Amino acid sequence: MRHTISILVENRFGVLSRVSGLFSGRGFNIESLSVGETLDPTVSRMTVVVQGDDQIVEQIKKQLNKLIDVIKVIDLTGEEFVERELILVKVNAEPSVRAEVLRIADIFRAKVVDVAPKAYTLESTGDESKVMALLELLRPYGIQEVVRTGKVAIARARKVPVEEEKKPAKKPAGKVVGFRE
């Protein structure tokens, strides 16, 4: 089963290497990985998609927690979450098919970011199913090159309000925002 794991790590030199080394050293398979800073510049967030049965994923989460630089491990799989990835596709755009390609791009709300006599480069963001669908539809026209980012994911906010929750007027300086305690 596929699991999407969100990891908060100290933004220190070598952290990416530690996490990927952990996966390769123990034979866990990473399907995709993306990482970037959070609002707090000393904290980075890594989003990792792994494949494995429950026992293996349990071990992965425990081993990640063991790393000194890992602050928090959140398995988004069990909850509601929003997942996106970005894709850049260079597709054949000869005069005979140019209109069709543009129409497909339109339907998917993909942007054209580069134009050439024989090729268009399209940019699209979406969840996995949307991205795969776009690629499938473009395939007959001849895809020259595809570049995908890793998936990023964020948990959905609570829809039902909780009574005691008071929003403070202003966050004190230096506090980490967007951190779920």
Partner 1 sequence: MSGAKIILESLLQEGVEAIFGFPGGVILPIYDVLLDSPLKHILVRHEQAAAHAADGYSRASGRVGVCLVTSGPGATNVVTGVATAYMDSIPMVVITGQVPTAMIGNDSFQEADIVGITRPCTKHNYLVKDVKDLAITIKEAFHIAATGRPGPVLVDVPKDVILSETNFHYPENIYMRSYNPTYDGHQGQILKAAKAIVKGKRPVIYAGGGVVNSGASEELIKLAKKVHAPVTTTLLGLGSFPSNSPLSLGMLGMHGAWHTNMAVSHTDLILAVGARFDDRVTGKIEEFAPGALVIHIDIDPSTISKNVRVDIPVVGDARNVLAKLNEVLETLPDQVNLKERRQWIKQIQEWKRAHPLAYEQSDRIIKPQFVVEEISNLTKGEAIITTEVGQSQMWAAQFYQFLRPRTFLSSGGLGTMGYGFPAAMGAQVAFPDKLVIDIAGDGSFQMNLQELATVVQYELPVKVAILNNGCLGMIRQWQELFFACRYSHSELPGTPDFVKLAEAYGAVGLRATKPEEVRPALEKAFSIPKPVIIDFQVDPEECVFPMVPAGAAIKDMILGKPRPAEPKRLLRSVK
Q: Closest distance between partner 1 and the C-beta of residue 150, in Å? A: 22
| CB crowding 119-151: b at 16 or more within 10 Å, else e | bbbbebebeeebbeebbeebeebeeeeeeeebb
**Minimal distance in Å, beta carbon 168 to partner 1?**
21
Q: CB nearer to partner 1: give 69 or 123.
A: 69
* Interface positions with partner 1 (CB under 8 A): 9-10, 13-14, 17-18, 21-22, 25, 55, 58-59, 62-63, 65-66, 68-71
CB of 38 to partner 1, least distance (A): 14
The residue among 26 and 171 lying less far from partner 1, judged by its C-beta, is 26
**Cβ-based nearer residue to partner 1, 61 or 90:** 61
Q: Which is nearer to partner 1, 13 or 159 (CB)?
A: 13
Could you give the count of Cα atoms lying within 13 Å of 97 in the half-sphere of its Cβ? 17
Burial bucket for residue 71 (CB in 10 Å: 0-12, 13-18, 19+): middle
Phi-psi region of 9 (alpha: psi -120 to 50; beta: other; left: phi over 0): beta
